[in-house]
Structure 1
């Protein structure tokens, strides 16, 4: 299984910097034990505690795999195509890139799942890509996966 680490431990609170109450930038994500069969990575960050549906905060795909260890840098630009040719799609705010935790109710803890999928292909996706489109595109190519859960509540 892929190991993931970041600025917070699994089931620990996400630092304010990575939320709408802070700088609203993605945390650095360290991904380890990526299988040799993997060609690219997909990351999906969503909130399972949102009131009406699982709320998507970030989708990114075609992160190139060159080793069994990759670092996704903190604060990626909120654009479609990144310098390493990885791509970002639309979150449920209707924007490109990462938009952090921002629960509507104060003092209510939400769980944010940062899921990483190692896939054995590069995805040819263009246009307004959403989580549903992305998941359908990669579901048959997954060779491994991992996740880390962060918590956040607004005070």
Structure 2
């Protein structure tokens, strides 16, 4: 049986190539590390898709946007830490879904992010989370996620 030696090897086996970490959209830090906790600023999917869930996009499309957002967060983690193996565990995930007021599947959208982190980090990817419907978000993105991780400094 082949045993994965690193998170990067697991990503390679999953056919996931991390992009360079995206820059912040305004005047703030991509992340801050305090006392072994890494706070990653809100990230959205690459390509700047625009629109609302329940109007412009389906729940399934939102799931994929949330998964893409997870890849963005992984890129920030790797850029900051040098290796994803320094992530001890995911702690908290908070999603803001740009949605029509009648949309009710915010939790299913954010599962795209959560599922990715469970696949990549296994039990260390399990996290507390909350998800909110938003009337509007930055750049009219369909989802923005901010997150907190315990890391080896």
TM-score (norm 2): 0.27
Structure with the bigger percentage of strand: 1
TM-score (norm 1): 0.27
